[in-house]
């Protein structure tokens, strides 16, 4: 059956730019998937997605005009139901055949085959393959139905009726044309009230022809570029923007580069049909404003690409991705420079006004900002963060000998949220913390405090940097613990993919702060110390919160390449100091490679089960009650190895501790071969259980080795 390449284009009004990339991928992906499912597209068909501001399209190779017919065998019913005692068809069988388009003449051709305990009748038939016009209609409707549309519009179709506009259509944007070409032939379709053809429209202003005719499915991209001045491919258009941005930056000066922002690049790609990058500039006086403010207003409000010098400092020039390419671009450049000036002036005004008040003078204003209806205001929240930060700082300062840490952490915690009530952060919430640092330095506060005000939000996302100083680490930890403790205390927990207070991210932040800074803090103590700061506003949910944090830690460790068995073995002991977890995991990994590991893991599992059934067991052994040679040998081996293993454990050398204990394999094996633990004599039984408890305690300080048993 002949195969040709297929092109489908849906021409619409301007699509939402932030969703365009996903819309284009989904449109082409579902279309190809549906055609393959119907047997119209080959298994090795190649799909190319196109997406521009005003079109979604797909080019699919090796598409047949008609799918191959398929042989189908269908189970009808048990033989006892379909045939009577004489072997004639029953009314039930005839009715079933009629439903399938067959009559009594088909009875003789039915097949019998076992079906479980009974024998059943099967009907063989041939299903005609779908034709492309029918199959593509179905595939296109399915593709449109599954588009990840952010918000659906309702619009009216023009009709030939006496009452025009009576028919409503629901789609992301009003659609104005459909192309469906199989090779050079139009496939007749009707979707969204439109009939398919082979024409589309190009660039609004720069198309060479008012109507662009696509002669062949394979000529789509080239024809649209030549006659319509449109680069249809999202990826190709994006690459062209990247190329032009780099070339323009080189033109400005050596070492100058555009800001890197993948989301901005995708959005701008979705706004233009044929990009043209232009160099613009603003007055250098605005460079006195923190560059984060200027960069954000240019990116967020105007979709411009600020230019940075070789040192990463903002220059007074920026790049615009225009959708038109006039011979004289001065009007376009001048227009963009005029548009950006008021934005930068606003940023300068906010910055100048904010600096007229100190951060300390804004603390009172936080009492008027509601944080949560059950947890009070931001002012109350700040006091809780201060209390938690003081407790953490005191614990760390005692070990570091840092006399200023407690006072600086307290001051940073008190001022950390004050920039929330500034004009700049009110306009640009993304700058919270960043502006706090600038204002703190303006107030003459120590750099460590200023850094902590900015850094206390870190890590904001996976892979983000951690606070750059100890003060920042303390306040960041306190801030995250306040959020977690408060939300768990009022029962406001994440459900499914909903996590409005980012508790999962905060939990991972706590994990990273403790581990990567090697903080000598016990997790349980830390969580308990945060509860009193809330008074009677919450219930103590520190146990559930600890479970939540260990669960986040387990997921993070698995992502880092540790096996589920290794992670389970270490976290089963709920190590209080998370900073030890990585060393424990490495020790377990090294232990698992030893020839004794499998036998000792299995023995540990056996010991755990015995002790669990025995209930409370005292780890005490009376040597005079050791009757059997095997139990005497095990006791002697424990006496020889356990003290050394404990000393290595206490010194933090977990790998050496487990390797020392590997010497117990032979006496442990001999014990289980030659000693009956549950002896009839009570004193012997309790002594042997005590010996096993002593063994269990010695073996499972680093990890629960029984979890390594397969």
Q: Is the pLDDT of residue 322 over 60?
A: yes
Pairing of strands 175-182, 194-197: parallel
Q: What angle do CA 226, 229, 231 make, to 5 degrees?
A: 95
Q: Is the pLDDT of residue 413 over 50?
A: yes
pLDDT on residue 155: 86
Band (pLDDT 50/70/90 cuts) for residue 439 is: very high
> DSSP string covering 365-379, please?
GGGGSEEETTTEEHH
d(CA 493, CA 499): 8
pLDDT on residue 1: 47
Pairing of strands 118-127, 153-156: unpaired
Rounded to an integer, the average pLDDT of 271-278 is 97
Tens digit of pLDDT for each residue in 664-677?
999 999 999 988 98
Q: Is the pLDDT of residue 695 over 70?
A: yes
3-state secondary structure at position 511: helix
Q: Using alpha carbons, select from 7, 5, 8, 10 the residue that is nearest to residue 45.
A: 5
The encoded tokens of residue 255 equal 């070492």
Tens digit of pLDDT for each residue in 700-710?
999 999 999 87
Query: Averaging pLDDT over each range in 70-79, 162-171, 425-434, which range is the top one?
Result: 425-434
Q: Using alpha carbons, select from 110, 180, 189, 148 the residue that is nearest to residue 27.
A: 148
Q: What angle do CA 519, 523, 526 make, to 5 degrees?
A: 90
Rounded to an integer, the average pLDDT of 343-369 is 96
Q: Using alpha carbons, select from 72, 76, 5 the residue that is nearest to residue 40.
A: 5
d(CA 243, CA 237): 10
Q: In 13-103, which ranges are E strands?
A: 47-52, 55-64, 70-78
pLDDT on residue 187: 96
- Helices 597-614 and 682-699 pack at an angle, to 10 degrees, of 130
d(CA 612, CA 589): 26
**Cis, bond preceding 459 (omega within 30 deg of 0):** yes
What number does CATH give the domain 373-561? 1.10.3210
pLDDT on residue 293: 96
Torsion angle (degrees, nearest 10) of CA 681, 683, 688, 694: 170
Rounded to an integer, the average pLDDT of 179-194 is 95
- The set of residues, in sequence order, having a beta carbon less than 8 Å from that of 351 and lying 6+ positions away, is 289, 290, 293, 424, 438
Rounded to an integer, the average pLDDT of 346-366 is 97
d(CA 411, CA 128): 78
User: What are the sequence ranges of the domains in the chain?
Assistant: 3-67+131-228, 71-127, 234-354, 373-561, 581-708
pLDDT on residue 158: 65
Q: Is the pLDDT of residue 163 over 60?
A: no
pLDDT on residue 280: 97
Rounded to an integer, the average pLDDT of 321-338 is 96
Band (pLDDT 50/70/90 cuts) for residue 160 is: low
Q: Using alpha carbons, select from 660, 675, 667 the residue that is nearest to residue 634.
A: 667
Q: Which of 118-127, 287-296, 560-569 has the lowest mean pLDDT?
A: 118-127
Output the CA torsion sign for 660, 665, 671, 677. Answer: positive
d(CA 236, CA 21): 12
What number does CATH give the domain 581-708? 1.10.730
Rounded to an integer, the average pLDDT of 341-364 is 96
pLDDT on residue 130: 86
φ/ψ region of 229 (left if φ > 0, alpha if ψ in -120 to 50, else beta) reads: left
Mean per-residue pLDDT of the chain: 93
pTM: predicted TM-score of the whole model, two decimal places: 0.82
Q: Using alpha carbons, select from 174, 152, 187, 170 the residue that is nearest to residue 31.
A: 187
Tens digit of pLDDT for each residue in 192-248?
989 999 999 999 999 999 999 999 999 999 999 999 999 999 999 999 999 999 999
Rounded to an integer, the average pLDDT of 353-362 is 97
Q: Is the pLDDT of residue 182 over 70?
A: yes
For residues 31 and 71, which has the higher predicted lDDT (pLDDT)? Answer: 31
Tens digit of pLDDT for each residue in 485-542?
999 999 999 988 889 899 999 999 999 999 999 998 999 999 999 999 999 999 999 9
Tens digit of pLDDT for each residue in 449-482?
999 999 999 999 988 999 999 999 999 999 999 9
Q: Which of 36-45, 93-102, 274-283, 352-361 has the lowest mean pLDDT?
A: 93-102
Give the residue carrying structure tokens 């055949």: 97
pLDDT on residue 159: 61
Burial of 440 (0-12, 13-18, 19+ CB in 10 A): buried
279-297: burial string, b at 16+ Cβ within 10 Å, e else: ebebeeebbebbebbbbbb
């Amino acid at each position: 059956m002949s195969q040709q390449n297929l092109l489908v284009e849906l021409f619409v009004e301007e699509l939402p730019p932030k969703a365009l990339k996903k819309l284009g991928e989904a449109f082409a992906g579902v279309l190809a998937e549906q055609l393959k499912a119907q047997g119209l597209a080959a298994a090795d068909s190649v799909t190319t997605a196109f997406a521009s501001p005003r079109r979604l399209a797909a080019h699919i190779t090796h598409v047949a005009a008609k799918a191959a017919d398929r042989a189908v065998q269908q189970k009808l019913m048990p033989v006892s139901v379909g045939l009577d005692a004489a072997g004639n068809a029953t009314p039930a069988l005839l009715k079933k055949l009629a439903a399938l388009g067959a009559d009594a003449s088909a009875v003789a051709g039915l097949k019998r085959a076992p079906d479980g305990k009974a024998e059943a009748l099967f009907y063989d038939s041939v299903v005609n393959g779908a034709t492309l016009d029918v199959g593509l209609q179905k595939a296109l409707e399915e593709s449109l139905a599954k588009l990840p549309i952010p918000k659906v519009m309702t619009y009216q179709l023009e009709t030939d009726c006496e009452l025009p506009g009576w028919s409503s259509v629901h789609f992301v944007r009003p659609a104005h044309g459909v192309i469906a070409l199989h090779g050079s032939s139009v496939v007749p379709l009707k979707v969204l009230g439109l009939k398919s053809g082979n024409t589309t429209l190009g660039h609004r202003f720069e198309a060479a022809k008012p109507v662009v005719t696509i002669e062949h499915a394979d000529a789509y991209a080239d024809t649209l570029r030549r006659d319509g001045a449109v680069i249809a491919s999202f990826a190709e258009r994006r690459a062209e923007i990247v190329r032009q941005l780099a070339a323009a930056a080189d033109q400005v000066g050596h070492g100058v580069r555009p800001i890197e922002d993948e989301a901005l690049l995708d959005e701008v790609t979705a706004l233009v049909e044929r990009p043209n990058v232009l160099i613009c500039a603003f007055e250098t006086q605005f460079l006195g404003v923190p560059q984060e403010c200027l960069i954000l207003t240019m990116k967020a409000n105007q979709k411009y690409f600020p230019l940075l010098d070789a040192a990463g400092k903002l220059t007074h020039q920026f790049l615009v991705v225009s959708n038109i390419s006039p011979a004289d671009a001065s009007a376009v450049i001048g227009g963009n420079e005029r548009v950006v000036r008021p934005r930068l002036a606003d940023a300068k005004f906010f910055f100048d006004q904010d600096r007229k008040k100190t951060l300390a003078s804004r603390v009172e204003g936080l009492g008027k900002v509601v944080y949560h209806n059950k947890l009070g205001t931001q002012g109350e929240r700040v006091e809780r963060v201060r209390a938690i930060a003081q407790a953490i700082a005191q614990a760390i300062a005692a070990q570091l000998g840092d006399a200023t840490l407690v006072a600086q952490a307290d001051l940073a915690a008190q001022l950390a949220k004050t920039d929330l009530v500034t004009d700049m952060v009110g306009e640009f919430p993304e700058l919270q913390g960043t502006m706090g640092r600038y204002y703190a330095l303006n107030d003459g506060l120590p750099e460590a405090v200023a850094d902590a005000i900015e850094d206390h939000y870190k890590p904001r996302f996976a892979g983000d940097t951690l606070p750059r100083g100890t003060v920042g680490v303390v306040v960041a930890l306190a801030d995250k613990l306040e959020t977690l403790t408060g939300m768990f205390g009022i029962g406001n927990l994440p459900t499914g993919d909903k996590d409005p207070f980012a508790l999962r991210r905060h939990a991972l932040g706590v994990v990273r702060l403790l581990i990567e800074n090697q903080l000598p803090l016990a997790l349980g103590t830390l969580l308990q110390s945060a509860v009193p700061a809330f008074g009677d506003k919450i219930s103590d949910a520190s146990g559930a919160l600890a479970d939540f944090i260990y669960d986040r830690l387990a997921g993070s460790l698995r992502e880092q390449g540790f096996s589920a068995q290794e992670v389970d073995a270490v976290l089963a002991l709920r190590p209080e100091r998370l900073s030890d977890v990585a060393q424990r995991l490495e020790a377990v990994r090294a232990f698992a490679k030893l020839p004794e590991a499998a036998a000792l893991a299995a023995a540990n599992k056996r010991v755990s089960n015995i002790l669990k059934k025995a209930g409370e067991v005292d780890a005490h052994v009376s040597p005079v009650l050791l009757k059997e040679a095997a139990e005497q040998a095990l006791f002697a081996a424990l006496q020889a190895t356990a003290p050394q293993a404990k000393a290595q454990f206490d010194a933090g050398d977990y790998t050496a501790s487990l390797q020392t204990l590997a010497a117990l394999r032979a006496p442990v094996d001999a014990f289980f071969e030659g000693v009956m633990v549950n002896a009839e004599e009570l004193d012997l039984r309790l002594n042997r259980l005590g010996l096993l408890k002593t063994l269990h305690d010695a073996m499972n300080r680093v990890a629960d080795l029984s979890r390594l048993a397969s």
